[in-house]
Amino acid sequence: MALEAKNVYFRYNKKQPWVLEDCTLHVEKGECLAIFAPSGYGKTTLAMLLSGYHKPTKGQILLENNPLPQNGICPVRLIYQHPEKAVNPCWQMRRVLEESGTLREELLDALGIEPAWLNRFAHELSGGELQRFCVARALLSGADYLICDEISTMLDVITQAQLWNVVLSEAAKRSMGVVAITHNRHLAERIATRVVDLPNMDK
14 lies in the site for other proteins, by CB under 8 A:
no
139 lies in the site for other proteins, by CB under 8 A:
no
- Strand 76-79 relative to strand 145-149, pairing: parallel
Of 23 and 97, nearer to other proteins (C-beta) is 97
DSSP designation for 69? P
72 lies in the site for other proteins, by CB under 8 A:
yes
Which of 64, 99, 109, 189 is in the footprint of other proteins by CB under 8 A?
99
Euclidean distance between CA atoms 139 and 150, whole angstroms? 16
Euclidean distance between CA atoms 98 and 66, whole angstroms? 29
Euclidean distance between CA atoms 15 and 132, whole angstroms? 38
Euclidean distance between CA atoms 49 and 10, whole angstroms? 9
32 lies in the site for other proteins, by CB under 8 A:
no
77 lies in the site for other proteins, by CB under 8 A:
yes
By three-state DSSP, how is residue 113 classified?
Answer: coil
123 lies in the site for other proteins, by CB under 8 A:
yes
53 lies in the site for other proteins, by CB under 8 A:
yes
194 lies in the site for other proteins, by CB under 8 A:
no
- Which residues contribute to the site for other proteins (CB under 8 A)? 51-53, 71-74, 77-78, 80, 82, 85-90, 99-100, 121, 123, 137, 141
